[in-house]
Amino acid sequence: MSGVENAWMLMMSMSQGDKLPRSVPRGMLGRIWRFASAHHRMLYGFLALTTVSAVIAVGVPVLAGKVVDAIVHRNGLGTVIVIAAAIAGLAVVDSLSGLAERWMSSRIGEGLIYDLRRAVFSHVQSMPVAFFTRTRTGSLVSRLNNDVIGAQRAFTSTLSGLVTNVIQLVLTVAVMITLAWQVTLLALVLLPIFILPARRMGRTIAALQRESAGLNAAMTGQMTERFSAGGATLVKLFGRPEAEAEEFGDRADRVRAIGVRTAMANRVFMTALTLVSQLAQAMVYGVGGWLAITGRIDAGTVVSLALLLTRLYGPLTQLANARVDVMSALVSFERVFEVLDLPPSIVERADPTPLPAHEAVGVRLEAVRFTYPGAEEVSLASLEEVATLDRTENAEVLHGVDLEVRPGQMLALVGPSGAGKSTIASLVPRLYDVDSGAVELGGPGAWTDIRDLSFADLRGAVGVVTQDGHLFHDTVAGNLRYAKPDATDAELFTALERARLGPLVRQLPEGLDTVIGERGYRLSGGERQRLTIARLLLAAPRVVILDEATAHLDSESEVAVQEALAEALVGRTAIVIAHRLSTIRSADSIAVVEDGRVVEQGPHELLLARGGRYADLHHTQFAPAA
C-alpha cells in the first residue's frame, strides 16, 4: 500500500476522533478476549502470517537494490538470476500467505460476527415486553449489523494492521539507517507534512459525512414508514404522493450537494498528498543520487531507499493514529456490550416448580399491585435515540387486585379503557412481573406462583389472542407451526377447520404454502384473527386469554371469529376482555375493573340485579335509541 493510500486511511479514521472515548473502559479487553478466545488458534496463525507479509514488504526493496548493484558492478548473470529468483520466491510466498491470511481473517471475522450476533439476539429475546415498547427497532437492528461488523474489524483489520505496521516500521527504519542515515532523517522530518493536512481535512470531511449520514437516515426513515403496507395506504388515502415525493426529493438533493462537496474535498486532499509523496521521492533520488555519485553509497542503495520510502510513511501515519483505530473498534464493542449488559427484568428460576401435566388449571391473582417499569429499568437512551432516558416515575396501575377463575371456567373483565384490564391479562403469561402479591396457576389447594414455573411450562399452559394478533411474513403453514413445529399438514387443517378458516386456505393458490405478507396484510382482518386462533388451537394451552379479540371486526367477521373462539374455549379456563357485553353474558364470573381495582364481581344476572356499575355499563350499551 502506498504512502498516499495510507495517509488517506489515516484522514478517514481521524475524522472520527472527536466521537471516540479517551480511555478503554475497565474490563473491556477481558470481555473482548473471551469472545475472541474461541478462535485463538486461528488468530495466532493469522498474526504469524501478517508478520511474514511485513518482513517480505521490507525484504523485496533491499533485494531490488542488490540487483541494481549486481548489474552496476557486473557481478555476473548468475548473481542477478539468484537475486531475481529470490524476489520471485518471496512474491510467491507473499501471495500464498496473503491467501491464507485472507482465509483466516474471514474465518475469524465471520466467526466473531456469528458469536456476537447470536449472543445479542438471544439476549434481546430474553428482554421483557417493556424493552420493545420503548426501543426503536432500527437502532436495535443496527447493533446486530453495523456495530457487530465494526467489532469484527478489530481483529481482521485493526489488530493485523498494528502488528504489520510495527514490524514493518521497525525493519524499514533499521534497514534505511543502515543504508543511508541522512536520507532516513530527512524522510522522518517530512512526516508532519503527511499528518497535519490529514487532521485538518479529516474534520472537514467528517462534518460533511455526519450531515450526509443524518440526511440519509431521514430518507431511510421516510422510506421505511411509507413503504410499509400501513404507511403506503395512509399516503394513498390522504392523496399525498406528490408531497411525499417532493419532501424525499429535497432530502436527496441535499445529499447530492454534500456528495459533490465531499468528492471535491477528497480530491484536493488526495492531490496534495500525491504531490508530497512525489516530492519525497524526488528528495530521495536527489540526496541519494548525490551520495551515490560522491561514492558514499551504491546506486542500488538509492533504489532500495526509494522503494523503502513507501514502506515508511504508511506504517508511520497509521501508527500515529493507532489510538483512533483501536478506539473506533472498541466503540463498536462497547455498543454491543451495552445491550448485553442490560439485565432482563424477568428471569427463570434455577430450580423451577413443575406444573402438573394434562390437568386443568385455574388462575388466581392475590393482592396484586403493579407499576409499569420505568425507562431506566428496561431501556437505553441510545436505543430510544434520545439524549437521556425519561426519568418520570410511573404511577401504580393495579392496586391490590384479587381475582380467581377456577379450572374450566370463564372470567370476563369489563370496564372503561385504561382501567387495567389488559394489564391484568399481560401479567398472567408473565409479560411483566407484579410488584407485590402473586399471580398463580393451579386449583383449590394447589396454587403455584407463575414466577416459580419454568418458561416452558408457563408458555405451554397459557395462550393469548389479542385484538391485533401478530403474523409473520411467512406461509400459512409457517405461521401455524410457530406454535407446534412438528405439526403435520393434517393437524394444521384440523386447526384451520376448527377456526372456521379451512375452506379459505384450501382455495388459496398455494394452500398452506401461500405467503400471507407482512403482518398478514394479504388476509382480511377477520381471516387474520381466525388464523391466530388456529395457531392457538395447535398450541393447545390450558388457559386462554382473549384481549378484545373481536374489537375491530365487522359484524360478519365477528360472527365467524366468535364461532372460532367458542371452539378454542371448549374445556379450557378462559379470561376474556370484552368491550361488547353481549359476548360475555354466559361467563361464569364478570369482574368490573375501574382505576386499577375490581369494583364489582359476579355472574351477569346477579350484577344486573345489584344495579351497580355493571348495570350502568349494560344500560349504556343496550339502552334503546332516542
Predicted local confidence at residue 147, as pLDDT: 76
Q: What angle do CA 466, 467, 470 make, to 5 degrees?
A: 65
Sign of torsion over alpha carbons 100, 103, 106, 107: negative
Instruction: Kindly report whether the global pTM for this prediction surpasses the value 0.85.
Output: no
One of 3.40.50.980, 1.10.287.610, 1.20.1560.10, 3.30.70.1400 is the CATH number of 3-340, namely 1.20.1560.10
Q: Give 454 or 239, the one with higher predicted confidence.
A: 454
Q: What angle do CA 283, 289, 290 make, to 5 degrees?
A: 95
* pLDDT tens figures, 420-465: 998 999 999 998 999 999 999 988 778 899 999 998 899 888 988 8
| pLDDT tier, 12 (very low <50, low <70, confident <90, very high otherwise) | very low
Pairing of strands 436-443, 362-370: antiparallel
* pLDDT tens figures, 77-122: 888 888 889 889 998 998 998 899 888 888 887 888 888 888 888 8
Instruction: Give 401's strand partners.
Output: 368
Q: How many helices (H) and strands (E) does the chain have?
A: 24, 10
| pLDDT tier, 309 (very low <50, low <70, confident <90, very high otherwise) | confident
Alpha-carbon distance of 421 to 418, in angstroms, equals 8
Residue 24 identity (one-letter amino acid): V
Alpha-carbon distance of 305 to 503, in angstroms, equals 83
Q: Is the pLDDT of residue 385 over 50?
A: yes
Query: What is the mean predicted confidence (pLDDT) over 486-508?
Result: 87
- How is residue 544 written as a grid cell? 386462554
Alpha-carbon distance of 377 to 372, in angstroms, equals 10
Asked if 65 and 300 count as a contact pair (C-beta separation under 8 A), the reply is: yes
Residue in the block written with cell 541494481:
68
Predicted local confidence at residue 16, as pLDDT: 46
Query: What is the mean predicted confidence (pLDDT) over 290-295?
Result: 80
Q: Is the pLDDT of residue 370 over 60?
A: yes
* pLDDT tens figures, 14-61: 444 444 455 556 677 777 778 778 888 888 888 888 888 888 888 888
Classified as helix, coil or strand, 167 is helix
Q: Is the pLDDT of residue 213 over 70?
A: no
Alpha-carbon distance of 230 to 221, in angstroms, equals 14
> Alpha carbon 395 to chain centroid distance?
31
The percent of residues in the chain predicted with pLDDT above 90, rounded, is 11
- How is residue 129 written as a grid cell? 415486553
DSSP 364-405: EEEEEEE-PPPHHHH--HHHHTSSS---PPPPP-EEEEEEEE
Alpha-carbon distance of 143 to 333, in angstroms, equals 10
Q: What angle do CA 156, 159, 162 make, to 5 degrees?
A: 130
Ramachandran class of 445: left when φ > 0, alpha when ψ lies in -120 to 50, beta otherwise: left
Q: Is the pLDDT of residue 347 over 50?
A: yes
Predicted local confidence at residue 594, as pLDDT: 92
Pairing of strands 589-594, 597-602: antiparallel
Instruction: Give 290's strand partners.
Output: none
For 546, other C-beta atoms within 10 Å of its C-beta total: 28
Q: What angle do CA 151, 154, 160 make, to 5 degrees?
A: 160
Predicted local confidence at residue 352, as pLDDT: 92
* pLDDT tens figures, 516-531: 877 777 787 778 888 8
Q: Is the pLDDT of residue 233 over 80?
A: no
- Locate the DSSP E strands across 178-320: none
Determine which of 73-82, 204-213, 479-488 has the lowest per-residue pLDDT on average. 204-213
| pLDDT tier, 366 (very low <50, low <70, confident <90, very high otherwise) | very high
Is domain 362-622 annotated with CATH 3.40.50.300? yes
Predicted local confidence at residue 183, as pLDDT: 79
Query: What is the mean predicted confidence (pLDDT) over 573-600?
Result: 87
Alpha helix segments (H runs only) across 439-593: 455-461, 476-480, 489-498, 502-507, 525-539, 555-569
Residue 73 CB-half CA count within 13 A: 13
* pLDDT tens figures, 526-567: 788 888 888 888 888 889 888 876 665 656 666 766 777 777
**204-213, 235-244, 298-307, range with greatest mean pLDDT:** 298-307
Instruction: State the chain's mean pLDDT as an integer.
Output: 79
Predicted local confidence at residue 424, as pLDDT: 93
**182-186, 250-254, 425-429, range with greatest mean pLDDT:** 425-429
Q: Is the pLDDT of residue 201 over 80?
A: no
Q: Is the pLDDT of residue 402 over 90?
A: yes
Query: What is the mean predicted confidence (pLDDT) over 166-176?
Result: 83
| pLDDT tier, 328 (very low <50, low <70, confident <90, very high otherwise) | low
Phi and psi of 394, rounded to 5°?
A: -75, 145
Residue 546 identity (one-letter amino acid): L
Q: What is the dihedral of CA 291, 293, 296, 301, to 10 degrees?
A: 70
Residue 473 identity (one-letter amino acid): H
- How is residue 219 written as a grid cell? 430518507
In the chain the first and final C-alpha atoms are separated, in Å, by 87
Sign of torsion over alpha carbons 443, 446, 452, 458: negative
For the chain, the helix, strand and coil percentages under 3-state DSSP, each to the nearest 5: 65, 10, 25
Alpha helix segments (H runs only) across 228-240: 229-237
Q: What angle do CA 558, 589, 405 make, to 5 degrees?
A: 100
Any idea where the domains of the chain sit in the sequence?
Answer: 3-340, 362-622
Asked if 364 and 409 count as a contact pair (C-beta separation under 8 A), the reply is: no
